[in-house]
A and B are shown apart, each in its own frame.
Chain A
Amino acid sequence: MAAAQPVKEYFQLQYRMMNRQFQDLGIQPVLAYLFLFVGFVAVSTYLFYKTELAQYIYLLSAVSLISGLSETRRNDFLKLCFGDGKLKRLRLAENFIVAFPFLLVLLLKVQLLSALTLTVIAALFAVVNFRTSINLVIPTPFYRKPFEFTTGFRNTFYLIFIAYALTIIAVAVGNFNLGMFALLLVFAVTLTYYTQPEHQYYVWMHNLSPKMFLFRKIKTAVLHSAYLVLPIAITLGIYSPESIDVLLLFLLMGWAFLVCRVIIKYAAYPDTLTIPQGILLALCFGFPPLLLAVIPYLFSKSENRLSNLLK
């Protein structure tokens, strides 16, 4: 019983920290949990109604959240605090808490294979430290402009390879939709490269005006994402030439969202995304033509936010 006490206290601390985060955002924790629950149920219902790929989306979303908990420095710190034995129990509990809602939905929708895969991955990520055992410098095609895509690619290369594998499967079984899912997966992954605002020093050091800085960021994002998505797009274009219009449309939308993500990061800089900005982004996902108005608006907001650091 006594041995379980530190682990229990760890989770109590996590719970208090999460509550504080909600309070800092000006939301009552109870309301936040209720909102999250309702939102999750609504999104699940919509996704499973809308697409057959929902189970894969759920699987990947859960794996992506779980892999975030496996970050090396975080685990080293926990190991120092709890020791090897307790760490494994703690990590197992953590992974299954995160995976639980996704597992529940997958089981309710009788997607047993996906549910089983998720269970195995959650357990595996808790007991195996992938990042320390693969401590090598992963080569990237982004060496000329190293930053978001270099670090991002090295953290998420396995998701990119999964997307490429899905593309090959899509071509082999003649499933264009699966190929499109792979394309969107790569775009979704690249969006995550712009979630964290960088240290002020990395903005300050540029001898560019805010406008030129943003243009350079956008140019790099579009160019580097092209390296990753074009192999999928070209493959799909060759094997499904009749759907080239849909493909181009999704490519354009992917890049538009990427541009929006880059700009929205600096519209809140040096803070993370604010709630109204998050809502704006969510509205754009629901109604993409909104991007035409949102991008210029956020661009000018970003220019203002950067004007203190860039002259």
Chain B
Amino acid sequence: MIQIQHLSKSFGAKQVLSDISISFDKGKVYGIVGENGAGKTTLFRCIAGLEEYEGTISADRVPLKNHLGLLLTEPFFFSKITGAEYIRLLCNARGTKLTDIESRNVFDLPLNQYASTYSTGMQKKLAITAILLQGNDYFILDEPFNGVDIQSNIIIEEIIHKLRELNKAVIISSHIFSTLSDTCDEIHLLSHGTFTRSVLKEDFQALESEMKSATLGGKIDRLGLV
């Protein structure tokens, strides 16, 4: 379990997260939604320990970061490192012994080519593969479906279901609501640095409708399209 209490974070005068308290249990999948700049990535970076913050973040496995698989929105790759080497690098960092990478290459990636030459979607799939093979207990997946083809989306969704079965805690952010409603147990709406709504599976559709009407609110009509 990851327990967050009174988490606040600001960059200079700009308050990005404000007094957030939430817990993420094992065996559950959590969706975090919110508009651009709502604070999702900052929240994830705080949980991972990549940012300093006020408040407390605790977990049943310490230090949390050593058991956390973090998928960044835009994973960073070195220019001359192959897919297989990238996976080995991440597993080495966690002291995970790795055997037979090729048979675990569920996305059929060209692992012997430079990762920097991969498309955006392929890079994301490579990063997901690597954090899965690290053997983590918690997962933060920041936009895992972005730029990924439909077939791989199906695989990622199945992987998330499998992680839940394996009693892992998974936190996902996505701008594609349908992927969250298919995979999550709870969805939390982050707005201006604080959680404004938290809903369980049965209320996902209502939340989506609410978000739609709040977001649109006649904006399209203002374009005056004819």
Contact = CB atoms under 8 A, between A and B. Distances in A.
Interface residues of A, number: 24
B162 interface: no
Interface residues of B, number: 28
Interface stretch (A106-114, A197-205, A230-238, A277-285): A197-205
A204 B50 contact: yes
Nearest to B88: A146
Contacts of B76: 199, 201-202
A143 B76 CA distance: 19
B58 interface: no
Interface stretch (B7-15, B33-41, B64-72, B210-218): B64-72
B78 A311 contact: no
Nearest to B92: A145
A192 B180 CA distance: 45
A309 interface: yes
A181 B75 CA distance: 40
Contact of B114 (A137, A144, A206, A309): A137
A119 interface: no
A143 B88 contact: yes
A28 interface: no
Interface in B149-195: none
A155 interface: yes
A64 interface: no
B79 interface: yes
B49 A143 contact: no
A177 to B, nearest CB: 33
A207 B65 CA distance: 8
A309 B85 contact: no
A202 B115 CA distance: 15
Contact of B112 (A137, A201, A204, A206): A137
A207 B94 contact: yes
A147 B93 CA distance: 11
Interface in A83-120: none
A137 B82 contact: yes
B201 interface: no
B106 interface: no
Contacts of A202: 76, 89, 93
Contacts of A73: 79
A51 interface: no
A204 B95 CA distance: 14
B132 interface: no
B1 interface: no
Contacts of A311: 49, 63, 65-66
Contact of A147 (B66, B89, B113): B89
A150 B84 CA distance: 12
A150 to B, nearest CB: 6
B57 interface: no
Contact of A151 (B63, B66, B78): B78
A5 interface: no
B120 to A, nearest CB: 15
Nearest to B75: A201
B81 interface: yes
A154 interface: yes
B89 A146 contact: yes
Given A146-B85, A146-B88, A147-B89, A309 B50 contact: yes
Nearest to A203: B93
B197 interface: no
Contacts of A206: 93-94
B80 A309 contact: no
A137 B114 CA distance: 7
Contacts of B94: 205-207
Contacts of B93: 202, 205-207
Interface in A134-182: 137-138, 143-147, 150-151, 154-155
Given A150-B85, A201-B75, 10 more contacts: A137-B82, A146-B88, A146-B89, A147-B81, A151-B81, A155-B80, A206-B93, A207-B63, A311-B63, A311-B66
18 contacts: A137-B112, A137-B114, A144-B88, A146-B85, A146-B86, A146-B89, A147-B78, A150-B80, A150-B85, A154-B80, A199-B76, A202-B89, A204-B65, A207-B65, A207-B95, A308-B49, A309-B49, A311-B63
6 nearest CB pairs, A to B: A146-B85, A207-B66, A154-B80, A199-B76, A151-B80, A205-B93
